[in-house]
């Protein structure tokens, strides 16, 4: 049976998201690996540059007025989740390989969102149960003690990053203007990032 246009669109967008997630891990590991920048500064640079770029997009390419940033499009809860994701993600890659970190992140995000759906009364389909089982099994295998087990601190930080991103995604489901919502959260996350960087210097 041929896929409907909406189903194909969802598949394409999901695939692009997963590729972006993987590229995100590779680029972060490359940046932190040689020790050319510390994790706190890297995290701050990511959030500040993201906020600036999104503000440019809002100003020149969107019809949504800038006043939207002062509305309910962006919540401090979303900004906090974004910051927690960015800081734990960056520090975890001081210890983890890119592939290992990406797998832990993917599994943690999936587990968080499916468990949240269960709590809200949603009934997952068999494929979703299968994905939940595989994600849980993969996480247990990756962090189990052994010769090739990743560092426990780095793994724990990446799990926290996945949980934060899962909650950030759940909060974003209610956004009426996704670009405005994301922009507002990045702008609000900048003070957290700067504060985190200053704390790391002390």
Report whether 26 contacts 103 (CB < 8 A).
no
Q: Are 194 and 44 in contact (CB under 8 A)?
A: yes
What pLDDT is stored for residue 148 in this prediction? 61
pLDDT digits (tens, 9 = 90+) for 132-190: 787 777 777 766 665 466 788 998 999 999 999 999 998 888 777 888 888 889 999 99
pTM above 0.85, yes or no: no
85 pLDDT band, cuts 50/70/90, is: very high
Length of the chain, please? Answer: 202
Confidence of residue 1 (pLDDT cuts 50, 70, 90): very low
Residues 6+ apart with CB under 8 A from 38: 200
Which pLDDT belongs to residue 125? 77
3 has a pLDDT exceeding 60: no
Take residue 175 and report the two structure tokens written for it. 């956004």
Angstrom distances, CA of residue 125 to CA of 10, 146, 162, 180: 17, 34, 22, 32
**Chain position carrying tokens 């989740």:** 81
* pLDDT tens digits along 46-78: 999 999 999 888 888 765 555 555 554 557 899
Output the pLDDT for position 24: 85
pLDDT reading at 97 higher than 60: yes
């Amino acid at each position: 049976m041929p896929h409907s246009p909406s189903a194909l669109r969802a598949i394409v967008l999901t695939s692009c998201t997963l590729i972006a997630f993987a590229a995100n891990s590779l680029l972060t590991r490359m940046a932190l690996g040689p020790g050319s920048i510390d994790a706190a500064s890297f995290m701050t640079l990511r959030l500040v540059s993201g906020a600036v770029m999104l503000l440019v997009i809002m100003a020149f390419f969107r019809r949504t007025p800038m006043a939207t940033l002062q509305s309910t499009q962006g919540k401090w809860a979303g900004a906090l989740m974004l910051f927690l994701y960015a800081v734990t993600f960056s520090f975890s890659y001081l210890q983890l390989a890119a592939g290992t970190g990406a797998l832990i992140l993917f599994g943690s995000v999936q587990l968080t969102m499916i468990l949240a759906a269960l709590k809200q009364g949603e009934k997952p389909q068999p494929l979703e149960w299968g994905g939940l089982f595989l994600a849980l099994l993969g996480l247990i295998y990756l962090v189990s003690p052994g010769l090739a087990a990743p560092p426990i601190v780095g793994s724990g930080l990446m799990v926290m990053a996945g949980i934060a991103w899962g909650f950030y995604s759940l909060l974003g489901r209610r956004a009426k203007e996704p670009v405005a919502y994301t922009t507002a959260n990045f702008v609000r996350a900048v003070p957290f990032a700067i504060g985190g960087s200053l704390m790391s210097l002390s």
